[in-house]
Amino acid sequence: MSLVSSRLKSIRPSATKAMTARAAALKAQGHQVITLSQGEPDFDTPLNIVEAGIQAIRDGRTRYTAVAGVAPLREAIRDKLARENGLNYSIDQITVGCGAKQLVFNALFASLEPGDEVIIPAPCWVSYPDMVRLAGGEPVTVNCPEADGFKLSPEGLEKAITSRTKWLMLNSPSNPTGAVYSEAELAALADVLRRHPHVYILSDDIYEKLVYGAARFATMASAAPDLFDRTITINGVSKTNAMTGWRVGYGAGPIELIKAINVIQGQTTSHTSSISQYAAIEAIAGDQSYVPEFRAEFEKRRNLVVERFNSAPGLSCTVPDGAFYVFANCTGVLGQTTEPGRVIATDTDFAMYLLDEAGVAVVPGSGFLASPYIRISYASSIEDLITACDRITAACAKLT
């Protein structure tokens, strides 16, 4: 009898984490590796939030809290959702967990019966399909080509829906493509969803504040208010507030689902850190003047990476409207040969080549169910990005 459950047979370790670990191992051996594989801001957590965390410790906020999170945090989230998204939830419809990631998993685990289908527009975040499998469901990925802006079309959605469909997962701005759905695009998807009342919508809004240029953030529960009762809206403080390690995310949705999520959380993690919860109140309700600064810095870096990649031999990319990723097409390097005589047959080969030859860690598109692409996170200093782009361009130029 195997020690490890058969449930894990089809689950892969995250491609992002695998590449980051390989880069860390090379760094430990003394190699000068630039890591552009990690999805986290390089900024420090803003000081007002740090101070709120320290104050929480001093005030003895170090005990178990309510499973759904402390009331002042849920009130801050309720007010944020009303103020910024026009969504009116009661405090019982809101729950706080250990990052948006745990909320996504708990929502799936709380709702899926074996064989239930979950529609995932691809390219998609590495974790979605495996989370669905872990929760006993069947991921149904729908290919959303670059020509469609990597976005799900109403026709693609209509075709993917069956009587077993439980969820449509939406993530805008998207990891890995940076694609942002406009309100009109969400409304067009809502027209399809209205015809299929058994389908629920999970909206992962974690990159909400990282939208650039003329693009505007929109979310399904407000773009289609009649679908409010069929939608769970998930968000958190990791990306906007440079708080990845604090582990605070939240979900707001139908009360029976939130209650079920609280049952799971009550029997597993109990709640996220009490200290992090108090810091998150400051992140959500306190001074956020740093957000436009973060956004402006990210936009500058995005423009740099896009320009540099479009002039590298064999690479091309469109301009992503949000998040902090560039998803570059690497069709042009496939079939080419490296100096030691190895043929680049896949985007994984290319990512490995960039790590070995250029000392730059990126993630192959295959990890996000779309090939041949590489994902670059531009949440790194301008200096590192310039060096990385120089090295990638030189490595591409060496291929024959």
Nearer to ligand PLP, 175 or 274 (CB): 175
Residue closer to ligand PLP, measured from CB, 272 or 393: 272
Candidates 97-105, 283-291, 352-360, 361-369 — which segment interacts with ligand PLP by CB under 6 A? Answer: 97-105
Closest Cα partner for 118 from 131, 103, 100?
Answer: 131
The distance of closest approach from Cβ of residue 124 to ligand PLP in the complex, given in angstroms and rounded to an integer, is 8
Q: Does 233 bind ligand PLP (CB under 6 A)?
A: no
Q: What is the nearest approach in angstroms of ligand PLP to the Cβ of residue 104? A: 6
Contact window for ligand PLP (CB under 6 A) among 99-107, 144-152, 313-321, 351-359 = 99-107
The single residue among 89, 105, 109, 125 that binds ligand PLP, judged by CB under 6 A, is 125
Can you tell me which residue has the tokens 């849920």? 74
Q: Contacting ligand PLP (CB under 6 A), which of 101, 151, 230, 302?
A: 101
Q: Nearest approach, Cβ of 225 to ligand PLP (angstroms)?
A: 24
For ligand PLP (CB under 6 A), the number of binding residues is 13
The dihedral through the CA atoms of 347, 351, 356, 359 has a sign that is positive
Does position 69 interact with ligand PLP (CB under 6 A)? The reply is no
Which of 41, 123, 236, 365 forms a contact with ligand PLP (CB under 6 A)? 236
Residues 164-223 that bind ligand PLP (CB under 6 A): 171, 175, 204, 206
Asked whether position 39 contacts ligand PLP by CB under 6 A, the answer is: yes
- Contact residues for ligand PLP, defined by CB under 6 A: 39, 99-101, 125, 171, 175, 204, 206, 236, 238, 244, 249
